[in-house]
């Protein structure tokens, strides 16, 4: 089966491309490499030294004998996208290729506009390309748990059945996103839902929680295949940041009270969830939503877990509650459903001592590369 991974040079996309290639899918990667460019603009860098994309792919082919096609270009450029898809002829399209940082989208007007134009136009171009050239292709789109926000009721998987004035209907679950980035995902979801209903396309929205971890079986095969590990205040996500902070002796940066609860998953489960969605495609005209996380944690508890693990291996880890740069609830109810992927056969890699050991080990190995100036958050949600 031919699978195009859009955003295949990024954190989730790279791990997924290699995993699917090893499972003997025919894989193509489309990426504009804009994430590497944004890193340079912001003067930040992955803690792990990621190889240039061509070198990564040559290395993969040399080790496994598996070829991955590479298409370098921007999917907001419609002519490029159409030409690429017509050459590759995908049966499934996995779309990771967006600006994915909430703080980046909140820097200023330009970054909010860049985020929404990049994400919405890219996804709209994909939908039109599917309608015109590949109506049978299955779109597997990365959404986010953050689309739902933190409502005071249980979160369902995409839809909720509501009774109102004696009538009943199943409707899209209400959205309360917390940044212009998270809003872009909501707008994408609406556009995809509409395209499925109107043109009979098939799509799965994977509402993914916060991903952690850096190693997968495939990226472990050679140093040149290593995945990115973001720890900075813009692209670093909370658990990856805490592990890097612990490894370099920096106090863990819990924002505000730390009662913010989110869904989390290991990068090893990201790749498997995508495969499960591909293997069990949505029906024609159907817009499915799967909540893609395996465990719920609040950030204070995560910090304590990392602190305990750090102490066991001889690290002196402290926790510092910093002023919260974001506008978000710091103590709240949070219960979200995540059974669709489990029902399809997902066997989660839960957060364990082994996983933390591995992440702390990678962080320690590359700690000489850290720029401590990049750790504290510098983007504020407030005026
Ligand atoms: P990433 O920044 O590491 O990778 C995204 C890739 O997409 C980059 O290589 C970038 O160059 C490429 N890209 C961006 N815009 C593009 C465009 N217009 N044309 C072509 N390529 C483009 O991000 P990631 O962490 O791998 O996230 C991948 C997807 O998963 C995103 O859609 C994100 O919203 C979603 N997601 C990520 C997480 C997480 O914790 N990392 C959690 C939930 C959802
Ligand atoms: N947080 C801290 N300390 C830190 C970093 C973050 O307390 O040093 C807190 C934040 O305030 C927030 C929570 O941890 O409450 C999660 O923040 P994050 O930066 O780890 O994740 P987020 O901004 O939500 O974004 C990430 C990815 C995004 C994805 C999202 C999934 O960057 O692409 O969509 O996770 S979710 O959170 O489910 O929306």
CA distance 61 to 156: 41
Strand pairing report for 261-266 and 295-298: antiparallel
pTM: 0.98
d(CA 377, CA 111): 16
Can you tell me the mean pLDDT for 86-105?
Answer: 98
Give the whole-number percent of the chain exceeding pLDDT 70: 100
| Range 76-81 average pLDDT | 98
Q: How far is CA 259 from CA 37, 234, 241, 249, 298, in A?
A: 34, 21, 17, 23, 5
Which amino acid residue places its CA nearest to atom 39 of ligand 2? 146
Q: Which of 247, 279, 286, 259 is nearest to 346 (CA)?
A: 279
> Tokens 């489309």 label which residue?
30
Report the chain's mean pLDDT, rounded to a whole number.
Answer: 98
Mean pLDDT of 337-341: 98
Distance, in Å, from the CA atom of 365 to the CA atom of 67, rounded to the nearest integer, reads: 30
pLDDT-derived band at 48, boundaries 50, 70, 90: very high
Instruction: Determine the distance separating the centroid of ligand 2 and the alpha carbon of 220, expressed in angstroms.
Output: 26
Rounded to the nearest whole angstrom, what is the distance from the C-alpha of residue 284 to the centroid of ligand 2? 34
Q: Is 343 exposed, middle or buried (0-12, 13-18, 19+ CB in 10 A)?
A: exposed
233: pLDDT strictly greater than 90: yes
pLDDT at 383 over 90: no
Can you tell me the mean pLDDT for 94-115? Answer: 98
What's the burial of 141, exposed, middle or buried (CB within 10 Å: 0-12/13-18/19+)?
buried
CB-ligand 2 contact for 142 (6 Å cutoff): no
| Chain length of the chain | 383
For the cut 90, the answer to whether the pLDDT of residue 153 exceeds it is yes
Instruction: Of 144, 130, 119, 129, give the one whose Cα is nearest residue 34.
Output: 119
| Mean pLDDT on 238-247 | 98
Beta bridge partners of 255: 322
SS3 call for 40: helix
Residue 247's CB is within 10 A of a number of other CB atoms, namely 25
* 316 pLDDT tier (thresholds 50, 70, 90): very high
Taking the CA of residue 239 as reference, the ligand 2 atom at the shortest distance is 20
Output the residue whose Cα is nearest ligand 2's atom 23. 102
**What's the CA gap between 85 and 99, in Å, rounded?**
21
The structural domains of the chain, ordered by start, are 2-374 (3.40.50.720)
The two tokens of residue 76 are: 């907001």
């Amino acid at each position: 089966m031919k699978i195009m991974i859009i955003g295949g040079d990024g954190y989730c996309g790279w791990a997924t491309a290699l995993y699917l290639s090893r499972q003997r899918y025919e894989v193509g990667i489309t990426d504009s490499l804009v994430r590497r460019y944004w890193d340079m603009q912001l003067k930040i860098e992955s803690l792990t030294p990621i190889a240039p994309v061509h070198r990564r792919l040559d290395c993969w082919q040399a080790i496994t004998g598996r070829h991955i096609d590479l298409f370098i270009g921007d999917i907001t450029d419609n002519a490029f996208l159409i030409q690429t898809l017509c050459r590759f002829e995908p049966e499934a399209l996995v779309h990771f290729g967006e600006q994915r940082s909430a703080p980046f989208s909140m820097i200023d007007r330009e970054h909010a506009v860049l985020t929404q134009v990049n994400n919405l136009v890219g996804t709209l171009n994909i939908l039109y390309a599917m309608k015109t050239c590949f109506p049978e292709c299955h779109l597997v789109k990365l959404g986010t748990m953050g689309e739902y926000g933190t409502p005071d009721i249980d979160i369902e998987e995409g839809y909720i059945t509501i009774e109102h004035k004696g009538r009943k209907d199943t409707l899209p679950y209400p959205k309360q996103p917390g940044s212009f980035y998270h809003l872009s995902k909501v707008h994408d979801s609406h556009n995809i839902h509409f395209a499925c209903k109107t043109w009979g396309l098939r799509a799965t929205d994977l509402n993914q929680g916060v991903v952690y971890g850096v190693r997968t079986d495939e990226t472990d095969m050679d140093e040149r295949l290593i995945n990115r590990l973001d720890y900075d205040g813009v692209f670093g996500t909370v658990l990856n940041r805490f592990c890097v902070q612990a490894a370099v002796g920096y106090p863990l940066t819990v924002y505000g009270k730390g009662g913010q609860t989110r869904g989390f998953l290991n990068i090893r489960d990201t790749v498997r969830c995508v495969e499960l969605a591909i293997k069990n495609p949505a029906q024609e005209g159907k817009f499915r939503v799967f909540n893609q996380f395996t465990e719920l944690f609040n950030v204070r508890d995560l910090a304590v877990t990392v602190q305990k693990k750090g102490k066991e291996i001889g690290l002196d880890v402290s926790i510092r509650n910093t002023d919260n740069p974001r506008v978000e609830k710091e103590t709240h109810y949070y219960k979200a459903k995540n059974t669709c992927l489990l029902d399809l056969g997902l066997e989660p890699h839960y957060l364990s001592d082994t996983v933390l050991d591995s992440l702390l080990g990678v962080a320690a190995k590359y700690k000489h590369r850290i720029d401590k100036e990049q750790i504290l958050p510098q983007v504020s949600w407030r005026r």
